Amino acid sequence: MLRYVVIGMAIGVVTELAARTFRLWIYHKGYTPVLNVIIVFGLIMGGLASRVRPLGLEIVVGIAFGIGLLYEIANLRFLRWWSFPNERLVFIRGHAAIVVVLALLWAAVPALIVGVQRAVLAKGSSFMGASRLDRLNQRERQLMQKLDTLHERARAVETQLEDVRMLKQTLLGRRAVRELGAHAGPPPTP
Protein backbone atom coordinates (compact mmCIF):
# COMPACT_ATOMS: atom_id res chain seq x y z
CA MET A 1 0.00 0.00 0.00
CA LEU A 2 2.94 2.33 0.67
CA ARG A 3 3.77 2.52 -3.05
CA TYR A 4 0.22 3.58 -3.84
CA VAL A 5 0.35 6.27 -1.16
CA VAL A 6 3.68 7.59 -2.43
CA ILE A 7 2.47 7.63 -6.03
CA GLY A 8 -0.72 9.39 -4.91
CA MET A 9 1.33 11.99 -3.08
CA ALA A 10 3.54 12.51 -6.15
CA ILE A 11 0.43 13.06 -8.27
CA GLY A 12 -0.81 15.46 -5.60
CA VAL A 13 2.42 17.46 -5.68
CA VAL A 14 2.25 17.75 -9.48
CA THR A 15 -1.41 18.76 -9.29
CA GLU A 16 -0.82 21.38 -6.60
CA LEU A 17 2.18 22.82 -8.43
CA ALA A 18 0.12 23.11 -11.63
CA ALA A 19 -2.75 24.71 -9.70
CA ARG A 20 -0.38 27.23 -8.14
CA THR A 21 1.42 27.96 -11.41
CA PHE A 22 -1.77 28.51 -13.43
CA ARG A 23 -3.78 29.93 -10.50
CA LEU A 24 -6.49 27.30 -10.94
CA TRP A 25 -7.43 27.65 -7.27
CA ILE A 26 -6.06 29.63 -4.38
CA TYR A 27 -5.45 28.27 -0.88
CA HIS A 28 -6.20 30.52 2.04
CA LYS A 29 -3.76 28.82 4.42
CA GLY A 30 -0.23 27.70 3.50
CA TYR A 31 -0.45 24.27 5.12
CA THR A 32 -3.63 23.23 3.30
CA PRO A 33 -1.95 22.02 0.08
CA VAL A 34 0.45 19.93 2.17
CA LEU A 35 -2.46 18.30 4.02
CA ASN A 36 -4.26 17.83 0.71
CA VAL A 37 -1.26 16.04 -0.80
CA ILE A 38 -0.61 13.82 2.22
CA ILE A 39 -4.14 13.02 3.34
CA VAL A 40 -6.38 13.18 0.29
CA PHE A 41 -4.02 12.32 -2.58
CA GLY A 42 -1.76 10.01 -0.59
CA LEU A 43 -3.72 8.25 2.14
CA ILE A 44 -7.27 8.35 0.78
CA MET A 45 -6.76 8.07 -2.98
CA GLY A 46 -3.63 5.92 -2.60
CA GLY A 47 -5.50 3.67 -0.17
CA LEU A 48 -8.40 3.38 -2.61
CA ALA A 49 -6.00 2.55 -5.45
CA SER A 50 -4.56 -0.28 -3.37
CA ARG A 51 -8.08 -1.79 -3.17
CA VAL A 52 -8.61 -2.02 -6.94
CA ARG A 53 -7.71 -5.71 -7.08
CA PRO A 54 -10.23 -6.95 -4.49
CA LEU A 55 -12.99 -4.40 -5.18
CA GLY A 56 -12.64 -3.71 -8.89
CA LEU A 57 -11.76 -0.49 -10.68
CA GLU A 58 -15.38 0.60 -11.20
CA ILE A 59 -16.21 0.45 -7.50
CA VAL A 60 -13.01 2.26 -6.50
CA VAL A 61 -13.62 4.98 -9.11
CA GLY A 62 -17.20 5.35 -7.83
CA ILE A 63 -16.02 5.68 -4.23
CA ALA A 64 -13.35 8.20 -5.27
CA PHE A 65 -16.01 10.20 -7.14
CA GLY A 66 -18.20 10.26 -4.02
CA ILE A 67 -15.30 11.30 -1.77
CA GLY A 68 -14.21 13.97 -4.24
CA LEU A 69 -17.74 15.31 -4.55
CA LEU A 70 -18.20 15.48 -0.78
CA TYR A 71 -14.76 17.06 -0.34
CA GLU A 72 -15.41 19.78 -2.91
CA ILE A 73 -18.89 20.52 -1.55
CA ALA A 74 -17.53 20.63 2.02
CA ASN A 75 -14.89 23.12 0.94
CA LEU A 76 -17.44 25.25 -0.88
CA ARG A 77 -20.00 25.22 2.00
CA PHE A 78 -18.01 25.41 5.22
CA LEU A 79 -14.27 24.53 5.02
CA ARG A 80 -13.34 27.33 2.63
CA TRP A 81 -9.74 26.10 2.41
CA TRP A 82 -9.44 27.14 -1.23
CA SER A 83 -11.37 29.19 -3.73
CA PHE A 84 -11.58 29.55 -7.48
CA PRO A 85 -10.71 32.98 -8.91
CA ASN A 86 -13.81 34.56 -10.47
CA GLU A 87 -15.69 31.27 -9.92
CA ARG A 88 -13.79 29.76 -12.87
CA LEU A 89 -11.64 26.73 -13.42
CA VAL A 90 -10.00 27.21 -16.82
CA PHE A 91 -13.08 27.33 -19.11
CA ILE A 92 -15.59 26.01 -16.54
CA ARG A 93 -17.80 28.63 -14.86
CA GLY A 94 -19.81 28.40 -11.68
CA HIS A 95 -19.28 26.48 -8.48
CA ALA A 96 -21.66 23.63 -9.33
CA ALA A 97 -19.90 22.86 -12.61
CA ILE A 98 -16.47 23.15 -10.98
CA VAL A 99 -17.48 20.78 -8.17
CA VAL A 100 -18.74 18.14 -10.64
CA VAL A 101 -15.64 18.40 -12.85
CA LEU A 102 -13.31 18.16 -9.87
CA ALA A 103 -15.25 15.19 -8.49
CA LEU A 104 -14.72 13.47 -11.87
CA LEU A 105 -11.02 14.30 -11.69
CA TRP A 106 -10.87 12.92 -8.13
CA ALA A 107 -12.47 9.74 -9.47
CA ALA A 108 -9.63 9.42 -11.99
CA VAL A 109 -6.87 9.69 -9.37
CA PRO A 110 -6.97 6.05 -8.09
CA ALA A 111 -7.03 4.78 -11.69
CA LEU A 112 -4.05 7.00 -12.47
CA ILE A 113 -2.21 5.75 -9.39
CA VAL A 114 -2.83 2.13 -10.45
CA GLY A 115 -1.63 2.93 -13.98
CA VAL A 116 1.56 4.54 -12.70
CA GLN A 117 2.12 1.63 -10.30
CA ARG A 118 1.82 -0.89 -13.14
CA ALA A 119 4.11 1.15 -15.39
CA VAL A 120 6.71 1.44 -12.64
CA LEU A 121 6.55 -2.29 -11.94
CA ALA A 122 6.75 -3.17 -15.64
CA LYS A 123 9.68 -0.85 -16.21
CA GLY A 124 11.36 -2.01 -13.02
CA SER A 125 10.89 -5.69 -13.81
CA SER A 126 12.12 -5.30 -17.38
CA PHE A 127 15.11 -3.32 -16.08
CA MET A 128 15.70 -5.81 -13.30
CA GLY A 129 15.14 -8.71 -15.69
CA ALA A 130 17.62 -7.28 -18.17
CA SER A 131 20.28 -6.67 -15.58
CA ARG A 132 19.65 -10.07 -14.04
CA LEU A 133 19.92 -11.64 -17.48
CA ASP A 134 23.16 -9.74 -18.07
CA ARG A 135 24.54 -11.02 -14.77
CA LEU A 136 23.53 -14.57 -15.63
CA ASN A 137 25.14 -14.28 -19.08
CA GLN A 138 28.34 -12.99 -17.50
CA ARG A 139 28.36 -15.82 -14.95
CA GLU A 140 27.77 -18.34 -17.75
CA ARG A 141 30.78 -16.96 -19.69
CA GLN A 142 32.97 -17.20 -16.57
CA LEU A 143 31.93 -20.79 -15.96
CA MET A 144 32.50 -21.72 -19.62
CA GLN A 145 36.02 -20.26 -19.42
CA LYS A 146 36.70 -22.27 -16.27
CA LEU A 147 35.33 -25.37 -17.94
CA ASP A 148 37.55 -24.83 -21.01
CA THR A 149 40.57 -24.42 -18.72
CA LEU A 150 39.66 -27.62 -16.87
CA HIS A 151 39.26 -29.51 -20.16
CA GLU A 152 42.72 -28.34 -21.28
CA ARG A 153 44.23 -29.45 -17.97
CA ALA A 154 42.40 -32.78 -18.21
CA ARG A 155 43.81 -33.34 -21.75
CA ALA A 156 47.32 -32.49 -20.51
CA VAL A 157 46.97 -34.92 -17.60
CA GLU A 158 45.59 -37.63 -19.93
CA THR A 159 48.58 -37.15 -22.25
CA GLN A 160 50.98 -37.46 -19.30
CA LEU A 161 49.10 -40.54 -18.09
CA GLU A 162 49.33 -42.12 -21.56
CA ASP A 163 53.08 -41.43 -21.65
CA VAL A 164 53.52 -43.03 -18.20
CA ARG A 165 51.51 -46.09 -19.28
CA MET A 166 53.55 -46.47 -22.46
CA LEU A 167 56.83 -46.29 -20.48
CA LYS A 168 55.43 -48.74 -17.95
CA GLN A 169 54.42 -51.13 -20.74
CA THR A 170 57.89 -50.86 -22.26
CA LEU A 171 59.52 -51.62 -18.89
CA LEU A 172 57.19 -54.55 -18.25
CA GLY A 173 57.94 -55.90 -21.71
CA ARG A 174 61.72 -55.74 -21.12
CA ARG A 175 61.36 -57.37 -17.72
CA ALA A 176 59.28 -60.16 -19.19
CA VAL A 177 61.94 -60.81 -21.84
CA ARG A 178 64.71 -60.89 -19.23
CA GLU A 179 62.80 -63.24 -16.96
CA LEU A 180 62.02 -65.52 -19.86
CA GLY A 181 65.69 -65.65 -20.72
CA ALA A 182 66.67 -66.47 -17.14
CA HIS A 183 64.22 -69.43 -16.93
CA ALA A 184 65.16 -70.96 -20.20
CA GLY A 185 68.48 -72.18 -18.91
CA PRO A 186 71.88 -71.95 -20.50
CA PRO A 187 71.93 -71.38 -24.16
CA PRO A 188 72.35 -74.54 -26.25
CA THR A 189 75.91 -75.40 -27.26
CA PRO A 190 76.69 -76.13 -30.81
Instruction: Check whether 141 has a pLDDT greater than 60.
Output: yes
Instruction: Check whether 190 has a pLDDT greater than 70.
Output: no
Sign of CA dihedral 93, 95, 97, 102: positive
Say if residues 46 and 1 touch (Cβ distance below 8 Å). Answer: yes
pLDDT of residue 32: 94
Residue range 1-19, pLDDT digits in tens: 899 999 999 999 999 999 9
pTM of the model: 0.64
pLDDT of residue 175: 83
Instruction: Check whether 155 has a pLDDT greater than 90.
Output: yes
The share of the chain scoring above pLDDT 70, in percent, equals 92
- Which phi and psi (to 5°) does residue 92 adopt? -95, 130
Residue range 17-30, pLDDT digits in tens: 999 999 999 999 99
Find the mean pLDDT for residues 104-111: 97
Find the mean pLDDT for residues 75-83: 93
Instruction: Check whether 139 has a pLDDT greater than 80.
Output: yes
Residues shown for the chain: 190
pLDDT of residue 127: 53
Instruction: Check whether 60 has a pLDDT greater than 80.
Output: yes
First and final C-alpha spacing in the chain: 112
Mean of per-residue pLDDT scores for the chain: 89
Find the mean pLDDT for residues 77-84: 93
Task: Kindly list the distances between the CA atom of residue 47 and the CA atoms of 37, 72, 73, 117, 119, in Å, as whole numbers in the listed order.
Answer: 13, 19, 22, 13, 18
pLDDT of residue 18: 95
Instruction: Check whether 186 has a pLDDT greater than 70.
Output: no
